Chains A and B, each alone.
Chain A
């Protein structure tokens, strides 16, 4: 009887030797390298005077916005909706940061490190989803599941070993990618940007990067669970595409408040440095709600968990032919 270590080790070997999986990881590494080189070309250093002027301009814009909102609220006749007449409160408005007032495109360490870590995380989560679907889809289409079931009769143990191997490999790659980004961004800031005087928001940055690693693992697990249900890569991709296009589109159109439960909104909320704001107009009134990182994480974990649970139950009962 195989031990848990034997199983996970064997499954990791199988995963990392799948051509589609290797290509996906290679594509992620190449995209990262090309992106990093492009950033060195895109950004250029700014003088201290330019930075000071941009900061001042950003501060005055934020102050103006807060003042006009306060005046609007003050002059509002009773019974009128604040959100429809005056818009969002300054705290909820996206007024950006001082970099948008810089004349040159400069890499600002404390701003761009976080923003680009988020972008890298989201892009890798999409690749991780593909890795999950390709891995499990190929395991079904090549008949490997039937073969392996004659080596490990406990199908749930087999599925668990595959899932652990997958999230282990994806997690390690995602951590590597985020660590490489920290090093790259420090070099970028020194050569093509501003390294200070503001400190790096380490807590916010590492928190975000941690969530990005978790997101990649959840995305891989989601793809894996979907491919296990459909028993094919193409089927899983088709369902994911159809869901995003049809189901999410329909919910946004017919029941905007249901957006809190949509996967893509929760992905963005989980990847967001602050609470994620969903806003829409209903009966001429601006309505909105926030999704916290925790809420988004729990929602996504429940969706993936449910898919895995159904897939496991089916695998346990179904004939392997």
Chain B
């Protein structure tokens, strides 16, 4: 099993920059006595340094957790700390060291990107040159005079990230930073996040649905499901513990073979003339099924476990109905 968030903290290996313990949150539905439980005793610790991925299916409670960390939403129970200070009571003492992009960037529509950042810099009493540094960092220097409402989704995202890094934060919280970016933009942001994480000064928490991106940029990852942490630890540990390897099958009639395996309940797809079966468990079963229908595999190769397979393994129950109280 991968190292749990709690145990990392308890062993005292690292200083925790984020520490949520037993955090509960439910939202009351309008016109209903029932409330929907979003966080159900979440224990989540992010050690200092590097890039930490925060994963979970839709509705798992990722954004609510981020909002609780930033003092935007109040937890119903449990304790929350960032940079060692309680949230929300002591948030003011550390907020100058925290940058965040939660949901879509909400900058002023009529203002240019540059002016938006200049006004935000005023809130924290930052020097104007910092704005230019951040625009340069996200590759927006040349388009900085475009009004925010006229920016493409990718440009808006870059400006949102620029606003988040404006304070040169010790803790950077990014919610879906690659949203709306083209492949080149995604790579730039990935490099930027990795660079910030590697600097040793900034700890980056990235919440994302894009498993491949998380796999490429994060050192550690935490997986959330139905308002609870189901796993946390180094990426490699997690993949080793939870990942069920895919199996690549070389067979003459890939389409007919795919049909056979699909009928048997396996998820598979054709890639480069081979059949890739997602997390099938014992490969011998596949061979047996295909042979029984007259399809003989010339090769049957298990692939390394991926974050995706770990994620699916850990969050399959998330599709069931959310409990209500």
Q: Which of A296-321 contact B (CB under 8 A)?
A: 317, 319-321
Whether A6 contacts B123 by the Cβ 8 Å rule is yes
Q: Does B230 contact A (CB under 8 A)?
A: no
Question: How far apart are the CA atoms of A151 and B108 in the complex, in Å?
Answer: 15
Question: How far apart are the CA atoms of A147 and B104 in the complex, in Å?
Answer: 10
Q: Which of B45-53, B64-72, B188-196 contacts A (4 or more CB under 8 A)?
A: B64-72
Q: Which of B101-119 contact A (CB under 8 A)?
A: 102-103, 106-111, 115, 119
Q: Which of B15-23, B89-97, B237-245, B302-310 contacts A (4 or more CB under 8 A)?
A: B89-97
Of the A-B pairs whose beta carbons lie under 8 Å apart in the complex, a sample of 22, sorted by A's number, is A1-B96, A1-B124, A2-B122, A10-B123, A14-B119, A17-B110, A19-B110, A143-B106, A144-B106, A144-B108, A146-B102, A147-B107, A149-B71, A149-B72, A150-B95, A150-B100, A150-B102, A151-B124, A152-B95, A152-B123, A317-B74, A321-B67
Whether B108 contacts A142 by the Cβ 8 Å rule is yes
**Quick one: which of B67, B96, B109 contacts A319, CB cutoff 8 A?**
B67
Interface size class of A (residues with CB under 8 A): 20 to 34
User: B residues bordering A, Cβ < 8 Å?
Assistant: 67, 70-74, 88, 91-92, 95-96, 98, 100, 102-103, 106-111, 115, 119-120, 122-125
Q: Which of A127-166 contact B (CB under 8 A)?
A: 142-144, 146-154
Q: Does A9 contact B (CB under 8 A)?
A: yes
Q: Name A320's closest neighbour in chain B (CB-CB).
A: B72
Q: Does A7 contact B (CB under 8 A)?
A: yes
Whether B71 contacts A151 by the Cβ 8 Å rule is no
Question: How far apart are the CA atoms of A94 and B107 in the complex, in Å?
Answer: 54
Q: Give chain B nearest CB distance to A168 CB in angstroms.
A: 16
Q: Which residues of chain B have C-beta atoms less than 8 A from A84's C-beta?
A: none
Question: How far apart are the CA atoms of A142 and B107 in the complex, in Å?
Answer: 8
Contact with B along A1-24 (1 / 0, CB 8 A): 111001101100110011100000
**Quick one: which of A10, A19, A153 contacts B95, CB cutoff 8 A?**
A153
Question: How far apart are the CA atoms of A7 and B92 in the complex, in Å?
Answer: 14
**Quick one: which of B71, B109, B115, B123 contacts A7, CB cutoff 8 A?**
B123
Q: Name B122's closest neighbour in chain A (CB-CB).
A: A10
Whether B92 contacts A319 by the Cβ 8 Å rule is no
Whether A142 contacts B109 by the Cβ 8 Å rule is yes
User: A residues bordering B, Cβ < 8 Å?
Assistant: 1-3, 6-7, 9-10, 13-14, 17-19, 142-144, 146-154, 317, 319-321
Q: Which residues of chain A have C-beta atoms less than 8 A from B92's C-beta?
A: 1, 153-154
Question: How far apart are the CA atoms of A151 and B91 in the complex, in Å?
Answer: 11
3 shortest A-B CB distances, which residue pairs?
A: A143-B106, A10-B122, A151-B123
Whether B110 contacts A151 by the Cβ 8 Å rule is no
Whether B91 contacts A153 by the Cβ 8 Å rule is yes
**Quick one: which of B88, B110, B122 contacts A13, CB cutoff 8 A?**
B122
Q: Which residues of chain A have C-beta atoms less than 8 A from B119's C-beta?
A: 10, 13-14
Q: Which residues of chain A have C-beta atoms less than 8 A from B125's C-beta?
A: 1-3, 6
Q: Give chain A nearest CB distance to B130 CB in angstroms.
A: 14
Question: How far apart are the CA atoms of A154 and B122 in the complex, in Å?
Answer: 16
Q: Which residues of chain A have C-beta atoms less than 8 A from B100's C-beta?
A: 150
Whether B95 contacts A147 by the Cβ 8 Å rule is no
Q: Which residues of chain B have C-beta atoms less than 8 A from A151's C-beta?
A: 95, 120, 123-124
Q: Name A152's closest neighbour in chain B (CB-CB).
A: B123
Whether A146 contacts B95 by the Cβ 8 Å rule is no
Q: Which residues of chain A have C-beta atoms less than 8 A from B88's C-beta?
A: 153
Q: Give chain B nearest CB distance to A156 CB in angstroms.
A: 12
Q: Give chain B nearest CB distance to A313 CB in angstroms.
A: 14
Q: Which residues of chain A have C-beta atoms less than 8 A from B91's C-beta?
A: 153
Question: How far apart are the CA atoms of A319 and B267 in the complex, in Å?
Answer: 41
Whether A2 contacts B73 by the Cβ 8 Å rule is no
Q: Which residues of chain B have C-beta atoms less than 8 A from A144's C-beta?
A: 106, 108
Q: Give chain A nearest CB distance to B258 CB in angstroms.
A: 44
Q: Which residues of chain B have C-beta atoms less than 8 A from A317's C-beta?
A: 74
Question: How far apart are the CA atoms of A9 and B122 in the complex, in Å?
Answer: 8
Whether A17 contacts B74 by the Cβ 8 Å rule is no
New A-B pairs, 18, CB < 8 Å, besides A6-B124, A142-B106, A154-B92: A1-B125, A3-B125, A6-B125, A10-B120, A17-B108, A19-B110, A142-B109, A146-B102, A146-B106, A148-B123, A150-B70, A150-B100, A153-B91, A153-B92, A319-B73, A320-B72, A320-B73, A321-B72
Whether A321 contacts B73 by the Cβ 8 Å rule is yes
Question: How far apart are the CA atoms of A148 and B100 in the complex, in Å?
Answer: 11
Q: Name B160's closest neighbour in chain A (CB-CB).
A: A147
Question: How far apart are the CA atoms of A144 and B71 in the complex, in Å?
Answer: 15
Q: Which residues of chain B have C-beta atoms less than 8 A from A142's C-beta?
A: 106, 108-109
